[in-house]
C-alpha cells in the first residue's frame, strides 16, 4: 500500500480522494493547509506529496522531501511557474502536473466574461439596483463583429478559438510553437505587436515565464485599438496591473476580465469578509465598473475538479510503481 499526503484539499475535492482510496486500496492523508516550510515536516513517511496553490512552493522543501523519503511531488494543476524544478531535480524528486483537466472549462469562462463586458452587465446591474432603468449611453457590441486575438494555442487556446468562431468572430493568434493544423488555416500573426494592434479583444491562454513577465504593459497597451478588451484567465504575472488600470481609466481599453491577478496568493481563495485588504492596486481594480474580477475560478467545474484530483493521484502512483508517468514535468 502506498501512502500519499495532499495539501490545500478543499471540501469539493474530498469525494474524489475517497473514491480513489477505495478503488486502489492506497491511503491519502488530506490536509486543508498550504504546503510551506512550516508544514513540510508532515510529509515524513509518505511516498508522494500532492498540492495545489498559487503561492510559490519553497525551494528548500525538496531537500526535506529527499530526507523524508518522498519520491514524487504531484501538483493538481497545469502551471509549474511556482515550482523550483531545478531544486526538485537536484534532490531526485519527480514532479508531475495535470496537463489538461478541462480545457473547455477555462475557454468557456473566458468567453462568458467577454460577453458580459460587451453588454455592460456590471454597469446595468448597478443601475438596476438603484432603480435606474435607462439604457443610454451603454450600447453593447456584438462578438461576431470583432477580431479576437488569442495568445497561446494549446488545448485551452484551441478550445477558445472554436467557441469564438462559433459566434462568428474573426480569430487571429500568436504562439511561439504554432499548432500545425491552425498554421495551415493562416490564423497566426508573426508578432505580439501585430496581434495587439489588429485585435479588438486579447485573450491570454499561455503559461507564465520570466520572459513574459508583464507582457501586457503600457507600451503594448498603447498599440491596441481604442475601446478594446483584455481577458486573462492564464497567469496574473502576464499583466502589469498598474498599466492596465491606466488604460481602463483613460478609455484606451473598454474593459478587462481578470480571473487571475499578479498579487493574488494572499487574496484569492480566502474569506476576507469584513477585513481590510492591504493592496491599493487591487482595490482600485475592484472600484472600476468596466472590470470583472473573479478569484481564479475559470477552471472550477465538476469535471475539472475530478480530473485534477484523479490524474494527480494516478500520476503519483505511477511514479512510485514504475518510476515514470506520462505527466512528468521535464
Residues carrying an active site annotation: 235, 264, 296
Give the torsion sign (CA, 149, 155, 156, 159). Answer: positive
Query: What phi and psi, each to the nearest 5 degrees, are found at residue 290?
Result: -105, 25
Q: How far is CA 27 from the centre of its chain?
A: 29
Query: What phi and psi, each to the nearest 5 degrees, are found at residue 255?
Result: -175, 165
What are 142's three cell numbers? 456584438
Give the torsion sign (CA, 89, 95, 100, 106). Answer: negative
The long-range contacts involving 222-225, CB below 8 angstroms and separated by at least 24 positions, are 222/252, 223/193, 223/196, 223/197, 224/196, 224/197, 224/199, 224/252, 224/253, 225/197, 225/199, 225/200
What gap in Å lies between CA 65 and CA 93, rounded to an integer? 8
Q: Decide: residue 205, CB within 10 A, 0-12 exposed, 13-18 middle, 19+ buried.
A: buried
Amino acid at each position: 500500500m502506498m501512502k500519499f499526503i495532499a495539501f490545500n484539499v478543499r471540501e469539493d475535492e474530498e469525494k474524489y480522494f475517497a473514491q480513489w482510496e477505495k478503488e486502489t486500496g492506497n491511503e491519502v492523508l488530506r490536509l486543508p493547509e498550504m504546503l510551506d516550510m512550516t508544514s513540510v515536516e508532515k510529509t515524513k513517511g509518505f511516498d508522494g506529496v500532492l498540492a495545489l496553490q498559487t503561492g510559490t512552493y519553497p525551494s528548500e522543501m525538496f531537500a526535506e522531501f529527499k530526507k523524508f523519503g518522498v519520491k514524487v511531488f504531484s501538483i493538481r494543476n497545469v502551471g509549474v511557474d511556482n515550482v523550483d524544478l531545478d531544486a526538485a531535480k537536484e534532490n531526485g524528486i519527480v514532479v508531475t502536473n495535470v496537463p489538461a483537466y478541462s480545457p473547455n472549462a477555462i475557454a468557456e469562462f473566458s468567453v462568458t466574461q467577454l460577453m458580459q463586458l460587451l453588454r455592460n452587465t456590471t454597469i446595468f446591474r448597478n443601475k438596476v439596483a438603484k432603480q435606474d432603468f435607462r439604457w443610454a449611453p451603454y450600447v453593447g457590441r456584438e462578438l461576431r463583429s470583432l477580431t479576437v486575438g488569442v495568445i497561446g494555442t494549446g488545448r485551452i487556446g484551441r478550445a477558445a478559438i472554436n467557441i469564438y468562431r462559433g459566434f462568428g468572430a474573426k480569430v487571429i493568434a500568436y504562439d511561439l510553437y504554432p499548432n500545425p493544423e491552425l498554421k495551415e488555416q493562416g490564423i497566426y500573426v508573426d508578432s505580439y505587436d501585430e496581434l495587439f494592434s489588429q485585435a479588438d479583444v486579447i485573450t491570454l491562454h499561455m503559461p507564465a515565464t520570466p520572459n513574459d513577465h508583464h507582457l501586457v504593459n503600457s507600451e503594448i497597451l498603447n498599440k491596441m485599438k481604442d475601446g478594446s478588451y483584455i481577458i486573462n484567465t492564464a497567469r496574473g504575472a502576464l499583466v502589469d496591473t498598474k498599466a492596465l488600470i491606466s488604460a481602463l481609466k483613460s478609455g484606451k481599453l473598454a474593459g478587462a476580465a481578470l480571473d487571475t491577478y499578479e498579487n493574488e496568493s494572499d487574496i484569492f481563495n480566502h474569506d476576507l469578509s469584513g477585513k481590510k485588504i492591504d493592496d491599493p492596486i487591487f482595490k482600485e481594480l475592484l472600484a472600476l465598473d468596466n472590470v470583472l474580477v473573479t478569484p481564479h475560478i475559470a477552471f472550477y467545474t465538476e469535471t475539472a475538479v475530478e480530473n485534477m484530483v484523479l490524474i494527480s493521484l494516478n500520476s503519483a502512483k505511477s511514479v512510485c510503481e514504475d518510476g515514470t508517468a506520462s505527466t512528468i514535468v521535464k
